[in-house]
Amino acid sequence: MAEQAKFLSGNLFRHITVMSFTASLGLMAVFAVDFVDMIFISMLGKDELAAAVGYAAAILFFTTSFNIGVAIAAGALVARALGAGNAAQAQARASHALLAGGLACAGFVVLIWLSLETLVSLVGASGRPHDLAVHYLQIIVPSLPFLLIGMAGGAILRAHGDARRAMMATIAGGLVNAVLDPILIFGLDLELTGAALASVAARIAMAYFALAPIFRHHGGLRWPRPLAFLRDLPPIAAIALPAILTQLATPVGQAYVTRAMAEFGEEAVAGMAIVGRMTPLAFATIFALSGAIGPIVGQNFGAGQLPRVRQTLRDSLIFTGLFVVAMALLLFLLRDHVIALFNATGDAQTLIYLFCGPLALMFFFNGALFVANACFNNLGRPFYSTWLNWGRHTVGTIPFVWVGAQLWGAPGALVGQALGGLIFGLLAVWLALRLIDQTETTPVVATPGLFQRQARQVVLFFNRR
């Protein structure tokens, strides 16, 4: 019996709200632990530790972005198959996406681990903070495949409309981290090493709790067959490769901002690290929005319901605006408490005041870009996301951050980064609306790329054999 695609009917704003909040609760569990990590590190009273976490965060953002790309592909393909009423294809593509992502991730881990010294230097670290950041990353990076399983598994659950169990997987990981952090950091006096080990344990827990519901409630996964796997590689790669490239743009831009902050000393880097931990915690719902609305767009696109796709985009932007205004007001009211919590002074204090003021409102445009990217990925134009994200984090970041830093120092770097986001957020929404209009008259068909053509040739070869 075919599984019912639940997003083809019902109130779209309600679907968006439920999917976003349930997804964000899971993300907040993870981000809250990262936030607590920063509090614990700050309590140790060692600026070099806080700076090391800031440098390491830029590299971890880079590695996590790889997994996000695979998760986007898995979720989009499963949602589209379910929308078309093909549950068997959804199961097969979930299995093949996890296998392809796992194989690629293993090679990625080796490459990153061998390059840690160089990568940490590239983001501006030197001396003791450099060595601490490398040590921290050497522990966490090998656990990347577990994070991939957790994230891709959660995306598959959301594609089935099972937002609650996807949320519980990330909450489980967050709880493991929350319990182990104080024990390892303070109880065993492991400091930065303890924080890293707690994160590894959390990733393993997240992977287990993401996979288990797929087997218990959604038919499980198929043991991959070579020919079927090769046949599914082209559609997986058609979304995963541009999605990975899209996600990699963000850490590149963030690494440049980190390097710009390094020019103003450890205090500025520590302040940026605090803001970097606060941002995903405060705006977890907006970060979750892209993955949350992806299944809604995918199912309706698969069913040919383009008016509901357009309404999903509009309702998502309304949801984003309402949430950002409410959160910006809350941050403004709590700004003094945040500064006291971290004992922030100098540039660190200034950056927190800035973030908890006008810059929080500017996050609407980041949210607009996330929403548009979800539309591109699920409407067969994932490279639109790639070009927009790279544009936002290169020409929309580097010149703005450089000019801002020259005019107003460390705070100016953050202001410049926000201004670039405004331009590309508006551009992304315009392009998404235009794509939906075009899709209603001319169905979108992804053009096969070089990788896809080669994969198909391999399949044909084995079929002839």
Locate the domains of the chain by residue range. 10-459
The answer to whether residue 462 scores a pLDDT higher than 60 is no
Q: Residue 43: is its pLDDT beyond 80?
A: no
DSSP string, 53-67: HHHHHHHHHHHHHHH
Q: Which helix (H) or strand (E) holds 152?
A: helix 144-159
Inform me whether the pLDDT recorded for 461 exceeds 50.
Answer: no
Are 59 and 111 contacting, i.e. CB atoms less than 8 angstroms apart? no
Indicate the angle between helix axes 12-43 and 266-282, nearest 10 degrees: 150
Residue 450 pLDDT exceeds 50: no
Pick from 140, 170, 172, 176: nearest CA to 153: 170
Rounded-to-integer distance, Cα 156 and Cα 78, Å = 7
* Model pLDDT for residues 224-254, shown as the tens digit of each residue: 777 777 877 777 777 777 777 777 777 778 7
Cα 357 from chain centroid (whole Å): 24
Contact between 129 and 53 under an 8 Å Cβ cutoff? The reply is no
pLDDT in tens, 10-30: 777 888 887 777 766 666 666
Q: pLDDT (tens digit, 9 = 90+) per residue, 44-79?
A: 666 677 777 777 777 777 777 777 777 877 887 787
Q: How far apart are CA 164 and CA 288, in angstroms?
A: 13
The pTM for the full model equals 0.66
The pair of structure tokens assigned to 69 is: 């790309």
| Cα–Cα distance, 10 to 294 (Å, whole number) | 16
What is the Rg, in whole angstroms, of the alpha carbon atoms belonging to the chain?
Answer: 21
